[in-house]
A and B are shown apart, each in its own frame.
Chain A
């Protein structure tokens, strides 16, 4: 008998699937063969295990079915999970409420204080700033008033017309002759010049040289004190490339010093009447003198190239001579004697400027 046949017999015996004769024969075999007997016992257990396993499985699945069915029909309800937090909350509700309100109040008050104080500081700063501004304005006004009360009671600038343009001018004769750019005074009805101390003087246009962009003004004001000599001279020959240069002008209310070098002997697009300098210049610098290191005027700043950085052009100083020559000698005007010699040689820059700055004027044309 092979294994399969034995298994078949054992199983049929266990499942009572044997005829009476077969069963008797098997019982006989079992009694004589202990191995078969063991197999019968063992397989009986195994089959019951298998059976229980199957029933257990069925029962589990029917439990699932029942659960789903009862949930669907609403006989049982799946309650929402009750987390620990909930219990914790219930237990410590009051303490937590108190803690939360304290935290809330603290947060609110801190936030409030922070915003309150920070805003205060801000407004103060703003006020301080504006005050400062007001102060400066007041100071300036006071200074002006002082200057004017000292010198002259009446305002020299026309009150009803706004300034059309502004620039810089410089004395070319101690008697009150100024040189500036023609475009600075172009189309003006009134010209007022202001010195470095903020003092205003009325001036008159004497000569305009449009092609060279040079204008000659004459200060006609009682308050103007004639200078016997000027510290600087005009240089006809111009400057060498790379020569140190400096300028003084009024791009703002205050006199401003700048320095640089001679960049090119010709001006915009090869214009030989002008030269290019490497000095920073801003609107308001127009008409300002360009000095070399000896304090000689070598030119008058007039334009800068818009597209290029740091490209500034100046009218050569020798053109001033030409312009001055063309002034029709009028008996009413004092004769001009242009300065040719500089007394600033070998002085350091600060001393040079101290001497020069009184001869530089802000030109305001109305």
Chain B
């Protein structure tokens, strides 16, 4: 089944974190997932967590330029959510309901596995960043995440000139790489 052009457009928007696209997908499909979770021993908070996780899976996938959804968005999200919810239920040791109904499902195990791997990586990065301490953390976040230029950063952090800020940034970056790769079990170059 080919995805319809409207959904392809939505996915493009999603890949760019376009607010409108996100809202559209969210409002169309959240209700379905909520009833899935709530009908199977979950709360609305669980439903929100599960749906947002599935949205991230979709987001990561949509960023890949070769990605093309081979089924309806609805089916994909439903499959991912169901899988995620079953996983969570078994983690909680909650009563696992019989979810193997006649629902239309697509295989999503690989996507979820990739997503879990990415999540683990992000967690490492998060830990490495908080391990840096201030002002390194804020400095690196300002440059690499918020994409501010060095002049802005220098004035914002009180450096006399952008070159000082740049030097400080590299010092922080080297420390961050060290922290990250120690955890990641890859020996970095600067050791």
Indicate whether B1 reaches chain A with its CB closer than 8 angstroms.
no
**A77, B170: Cα distance in complex, Å:** 47
Contact of B180 among A8, A46, A57 (CB under 8 A): A46
Which residue of B has the minimal Cβ distance to A46? B177
A84→B95 contact, CB < 8 A? yes
B55→A42 contact, CB < 8 A? no
B48→A62 contact, CB < 8 A? no
**A82, B47: Cα distance in complex, Å:** 12
Contact of A80 among B19, B44, B95, B177 (CB under 8 A): B44
CB distance from A304 to the nearest CB of B (A): 81
CB distance from A43 to the nearest CB of B (A): 8
Indicate whether A4 reaches chain B with its CB closer than 8 angstroms.
yes
Q: Mark B145-171, 1 if CB is under 8 A from A, else 0.
A: 110000000000000000000110011
Chain A residues, CB < 8 A from B144: 47, 50-51, 54
A42→B188 contact, CB < 8 A? yes
CB under 8 Å from chain B, chain A span 97-150:
none
Indicate whether A59 reaches chain B with its CB closer than 8 angstroms.
yes
Q: Do most interface residues of chain B lie in helix, strand or loop, or is the interface mixed?
A: helix
**A58, B26: Cα distance in complex, Å:** 16
A70→B174 contact, CB < 8 A? no
Indicate whether A56 reaches chain B with its CB closer than 8 angstroms.
yes
| Total number of A residues with any Cβ neighbor in B under 8 Å | 39
CB under 8 Å from chain A, chain B span 135-149:
141, 144-146
Q: Mark A214-236, 1 if CB is under 8 A from B, else 0.
A: 00000000000000000000000
Chain B residues, CB < 8 A from A47: 144
A67→B170 contact, CB < 8 A? no
Chain B residues, CB < 8 A from A59: 17, 55-56, 59
CB under 8 Å from chain A, chain B span 18-35:
19, 22-23, 26-27, 30-31, 34-35
A79→B126 contact, CB < 8 A? no
**Given contacts A53-B125, A53-B126, A62-B22, are A81 and B38 in contact (CB under 8 A)?**
yes
B171→A57 contact, CB < 8 A? no
Indicate whether B189 reaches chain A with its CB closer than 8 angstroms.
yes
Contact of B44 among A7, A39, A51, A79 (CB under 8 A): A79
Indicate whether A269 reaches chain B with its CB closer than 8 angstroms.
no
A75→B27 contact, CB < 8 A? yes
A49→B26 contact, CB < 8 A? no
Indicate whether B182 reaches chain A with its CB closer than 8 angstroms.
no
CB distance from A140 to the nearest CB of B (A): 79
Indicate whether B121 reaches chain A with its CB closer than 8 angstroms.
yes
CB distance from B62 to the nearest CB of A (A): 10
CB distance from A103 to the nearest CB of B (A): 26
A67→B56 contact, CB < 8 A? no
| Total number of B residues with any Cβ neighbor in A under 8 Å | 46
Q: Mark B78-114, 1 if CB is under 8 A from A, else 0.
A: 0000000000000000010000000000000000000
**A46, B16: Cα distance in complex, Å:** 21
Chain A residues, CB < 8 A from B167: 4
Chain B residues, CB < 8 A from A24: none
B121→A49 contact, CB < 8 A? yes
Indicate whether B10 reaches chain A with its CB closer than 8 angstroms.
no
A66→B173 contact, CB < 8 A? no
CB under 8 Å from chain B, chain A span 4-60:
4, 7-8, 35, 38-39, 42-43, 46-47, 49-60
Which residue of B has the minimal Cβ distance to A53? B125
Chain B residues, CB < 8 A from A42: 186, 188-189
A66→B17 contact, CB < 8 A? no
Chain A residues, CB < 8 A from B63: 55
A67→B48 contact, CB < 8 A? yes
**A55, B38: Cα distance in complex, Å:** 30
Indicate whether B70 reaches chain A with its CB closer than 8 angstroms.
no
Indicate whether A63 reaches chain B with its CB closer than 8 angstroms.
yes
Chain B residues, CB < 8 A from A52: 118, 122
Which residue of A has the minimal Cβ distance to B177? A46
**A60, B48: Cα distance in complex, Å:** 12
**A47, B189: Cα distance in complex, Å:** 15
**A62, B23: Cα distance in complex, Å:** 9
Not counting A50-B144, A79-B47, a sample of 15 additional A-B residue pairs whose C-beta atoms are within 8 angstroms of each other reads: A3-B190, A7-B170, A7-B173, A43-B177, A46-B177, A53-B125, A53-B126, A53-B145, A56-B118, A59-B59, A63-B26, A66-B19, A66-B22, A70-B27, A82-B39
Interface residues of A (CB under 8 A from B): 3-4, 7-8, 35, 38-39, 42-43, 46-47, 49-60, 62-64, 66-67, 69-70, 75-82, 84
Interface residues of B (CB under 8 A from A): 17, 19, 22-23, 26-27, 30-31, 34-35, 38-39, 41-44, 47-48, 52, 55-56, 59-60, 63, 95, 118, 121-122, 125-126, 141, 144-146, 166-167, 170-171, 173-174, 177, 180, 186, 188-190
- Pairs of residues from A and B, 8 with the lowest C-beta to C-beta distance, nearest first: A54-B145, A81-B43, A78-B44, A39-B189, A4-B170, A53-B125, A75-B27, A82-B38
